[in-house]
Every structure is written in structure tokens, then in C-alpha cells.
Amino acid sequence: MAIIRYTKDATIRYAYLNIFPDQFKTEKEKRDESWIKNTMDYFANKAYAEYVKNRDTFVKNYDLVKGILRMEDFYQEPEVKSFTEMLTADLQLPAYVKHYSIITTPINELVGEISKRPDAFRVKAFDDDSQSEELKFKTEILQNYVMSQAKQKIAEKMAMEGAEIDEEQLQQMTIEQVKDELDTYTSVAEKWANHVLTAQKAEFILKEKSEDAFRDMLISAREFFHIYEDNSKTGYNVEVANPKNTWFLTTPDRKYISDPTGRAQGAYAAGTVQVMELSEIIESIPDLTKDEIDHLRSSLQDYGLINVRESNLGNPDVSPGIDSVTYDTYDPLVLQTRMMIESEMKENNDGLKDFLGLTSNVSSFGYKYVVVRSYWLSKRKIGKLIYIDELGNEQSILVDENYKSGTIPTQQSLEWGWVNQWYQGTRIGPDIYHIKPYKLLNYCPIIGLVHEIKNTEAKSLVDLMKPFQVLYNVCMNQLYKLL
């Protein structure tokens, strides 16, 4: 984690050439500032590209559901325009044209149905301790006690009523009475876990978030949850990630971004890009230092005075004389496009108000910055060490890259290899970078799916209903005009 403005490999800037940085690096090599900057800049470029694509495609569906109409909602704009089309390009819809929605009702119906579904999720222990002989013994004792108490109460009740009952009927009535108690019996660990689960549902408002994510899937054919560490009392948080601000890298035909079971490969990199205020950044990013916070505050004061084109002016790593001259090896248009996208990452654009500082634009009012979060499968170097123990038996253990060959005198062989390891990274503003191994989960914390992406483009319920909605709007507006 550091404030990185310049890197030593000033001649090759992988981030601007958009080449995925090599992940087969040791822990020492991953602490190099060049690797950190190149890796996070690459993911930032991917995040910006996905943001623009999402904004120009399914984000319009959200407007349509809210009743906001555009000209393209009624006809497809041709790539080659005629002279008349050029003259009428800026014409607005007639004042009488309104949106008669037939999409909102089925969406609300489906969300209502999922809201009615019972929450029957419970914790069930399948570990070795829960299946141990001791636990089975305790369970049998408890069940026998419950059965005997129930049988005694039933026998006493029948005796008071003067009814006779044989042993078989008494056994059957006893089983029916205590069936629920025996079925819901859990171990102490399960009871504790279920209490925690109930508390977490209330803490994170999971029912409301599941409905919100389901609505996203109906509108955009995508839904995402994001689990991340923060400074709260639980140490982590769960949020519904906006599909517009979520990006991922995967192979074709992958429906799920993350598969906790590990049986199927999901995305090998995923993340979010969003505008965050400094107070929110401090709360959601525990590793932020005071120097980095002060740097963000001071950089805001110089906003608009610093050229976006990178320079080696003030770079302490350059040598005097002819070596102090460096040439750009990247296309400055990439950096310029990135800055333009960051300035557009808000709901409405108003150039004059942005310039006067009267809007919530990035870095023009308040301490707001673009934050790129990234999670990806990196690599970790490990070795398989075979040695002879004190009894003369051959043993094998796994060692990390810090192990030096020959440390164990009875070493027989040492074979090095690579395994997957999840990493997390954060880029705040233009030059604050955080990278470290991700240890909260052993899978990607961006959990979600893109519905029906196999062999085709994902189409949501709103996309499938658009032709009928357009036809209905045309008919109803023509009828309104005639009346």
C-alpha cells in the first residue's frame, strides 16, 4: 500500500498498453511499486471500459421502468444518416407522448412473489465433531429422555380419562407428539450458528437486499453481491453491487461469477468502480493511512491545475543530464479517456454547474474520488519438501518461498510449483494503491450471475418485453392524439 506517482520502469507502461501483468511473482516481487501500479491500472482500464458498455446498454432499462422515454425507445437509429435525419437529430419527443408502462406490473409481481417465499435457511453441521461418537451418545440420551417424559404424560392422561391403550398405540402417539422436537434438535454449535445467522440477517438486511438484487436481474439480467472488509463492528459488510459499476473477467459461457463450492470455475478477476466520498472511503477501507488521507485532501486543492499528461518533473528517480529526458511510450488518449469517464460517473451532467462547484461531480464539490476495487486469482510459489524424520520414515510437507534449501538436514528433495491465491486491490483517486492477499473468503467476493449468457448475449425480462412496450406506447399515444 503506497502513494505511487512514478515507477522505475518508466520506459514500458504496461497499464497503458493494456497488457495483463504477470502473476507468477514471488511475494517480494509483488511488493514492487511497478507491479502494483501496472496491475491495478490494468484492472482500472477494464473497469472503465465495462462501465461505459453497461451505461450504453442495459442502464437504459432502468429509465424505461421509471417511465423515462427517449427517441431510441421508438426506433433504431441508423448508422448512416440521411440529410433529413441529420437536421432532425436534435428534435425532442412531442409533448403529448407519454409512457404507458406494461413492464412495471410483472416486475412488481415477481418481486412480490420472491418476497413471500419463506426464509427456511438453517445451519446444519456436517463436520467430524458433530458426527462424533460422543455427540451421538448425548443425542440418544436426550431422545430417550424426551420419549420417556412424553410417554408418561400420555399414559397419565389416558388413565384420568378412563381409556385403555395398548403399548403399540402408546408408542405411536408418543412418536407423533415429540416428532417436531426430535427433528429440530441440534447441537450446541448449530444453535450458536443459527443465532449468528439470524443476527446477520437483521444486521445486513439480507431480505431487502435479495429483493433489490432480484429486481436488478429482471431489469438487467445481472445481479451481484459484494462482500468486503470494513471498519464496522462485524469487520465486514455485504452490499448489492450496482450492475452498472461491476466488472469481471471470465471464460465464455460462465453463468456464475463466483462458485463457493469450487466445483466450477467462475470469474478469475472481478471488481467494482464507484464514486465515494472521503468519509465513506475511510469507513470502508480499513488499511487507509493518515498520510494517504492527507494526500487526498491536498490533491483536491490542486484539482484543475495539474495536467493529466504524466511528466517526469519532480521525479526523484531520474538522473541529471541526458538521462533526465523521458519519452511517453503510451497513447495519452487512454489517460484522457479515463479522466473523462471519471468526470461522468454521476447521475446528471451540467458543465457550468460542475465548473462553478455547485454539483456533486467528482473532485469538484466535497472530497469525492473514483475508487476501483479488484479481486483476482494471482499465484503463490510453494515447494514440496521430502525429508526423513527421526524414525527413519519418509515425510513430505509444503513450504513457502521463504524456505531455504538445506534448512532441514535430512532433506531428500525439494520441488517448487505454483498454486492459485486470491488477491485484493484498491485504487483511490489517481495514485493511491492498496494490494494484499484476500483472506476473508477462499473464493471471489463478487457473488452473482449473468442470466442466460451461454452462446448469446444476456437479455433481461425488460429487453424481451420492449417490442410489446413500444407497440403499446405507439397505439396509446396515437389514440390519445385522436381523442
Q: For 211-250, how does the pLDDT look when each residue is reduced to its tens digit (9 = 90+)?
A: 999 999 999 999 999 998 888 888 888 999 999 999 999 8
Which are the contacts of 134, defined by CB distance < 8 A and separation ≥ 6?
A: none
Q: Please tell me whether the overall predicted TM-score, pTM, comes out greater than 0.95 for this model.
A: no
Residues 302 and 435 in one domain: yes
The residues that bridge with 370 in the sheet, in sequence order, are 275
Question: How far are the Cα atoms of 199, 203, 228 from residue 234, in angstroms, in the given order?
Answer: 11, 9, 11
The one-character DSSP state at 392 is: S
The one-character DSSP state at 244 is: G
For residue 157, the model assigns a pLDDT of 79
For residue 423, the model assigns a pLDDT of 94
Range of weakest confidence among 63-77, 246-260, 370-384 = 63-77
Does residue 79 sit within a domain? no
Residues 235 and 373 in one domain: yes
Residues 267 and 320 in one domain: yes
Does residue 475 sit within a domain? no
Does residue 252 sit within a domain? yes
State the average pLDDT over residues 129-135. 57
Residue with cell 510449483: 417
Residues 310 and 386 in one domain: yes
Residues 119 and 354: their CA atoms lie apart, in Å, by 46
For residue 251, the model assigns a pLDDT of 84
HSE-up of 364 (CA within 13 Å, CB side)? 20
Residues 178 and 235 in one domain: no
Residues 420 and 295 in one domain: yes
* pLDDT at 466 > cutoff 80: yes
Residues 244 and 294 in one domain: yes
Average pLDDT score over the chain: 76
Per-residue pLDDT tens over the stretch 390-447: 888 988 999 988 888 878 888 888 899 999 999 999 998 878 899 999 988 888 999 9
- The CB density around residue 167, as the number of other CB atoms within 10 Å, is 8
For residue 337, the model assigns a pLDDT of 65
The one-character DSSP state at 72 is: G
Region class of 261: left (phi > 0), else alpha (psi between -120 and 50), else beta: alpha
Per-residue pLDDT tens over the stretch 7-65: 555 434 444 556 778 889 988 888 888 888 888 988 988 898 898 888 888 888 888 88
Residue 351: pLDDT band with limits 50, 70, 90: very low
State the average pLDDT over residues 159-173. 75
> CB-based burial of residue 360 (10 Å sphere; 0-12 exposed, 13-18 middle, 19+ buried)?
middle
Range of weakest confidence among 172-181, 188-197, 211-220, 272-281 = 172-181
Residues 368 and 322 in one domain: yes
* pLDDT at 203 > cutoff 70: yes
Residue 338: pLDDT band with limits 50, 70, 90: low
Residues 81 and 41: their CA atoms lie apart, in Å, by 38
For residue 7, the model assigns a pLDDT of 58
Residues 179 and 228 in one domain: no
For residue 18, the model assigns a pLDDT of 64
The residues that bridge with 375 in the sheet, in sequence order, are 270, 424
Angle at the Cα of 476 from the Cα atoms of 474 and 477, rounded to 5 degrees: 65
For residue 15, the model assigns a pLDDT of 45
How many domains, in total, are found in the chain? 2
Residues 38 and 156 in one domain: no
Residues 1 and 246: their CA atoms lie apart, in Å, by 23
Residues 174 and 230 in one domain: no
Which are the contacts of 86, defined by CB distance < 8 A and separation ≥ 6?
A: none
Assigned C-alpha cell, 13: 507502461
Which are the contacts of 284, defined by CB distance < 8 A and separation ≥ 6?
A: 228, 230, 231, 237, 276
- The CB density around residue 363, as the number of other CB atoms within 10 Å, is 20
347 or 103: which carries more pLDDT confidence? 103
SS3 content of the chain, % helix, strand, coil (to 5): 40, 20, 40
For residue 435, the model assigns a pLDDT of 92
Residues 255 and 389 in one domain: yes
Residue with cell 459488510: 237
- Where in the sequence is the domain holding 157, given as residue range(s)? 133-185
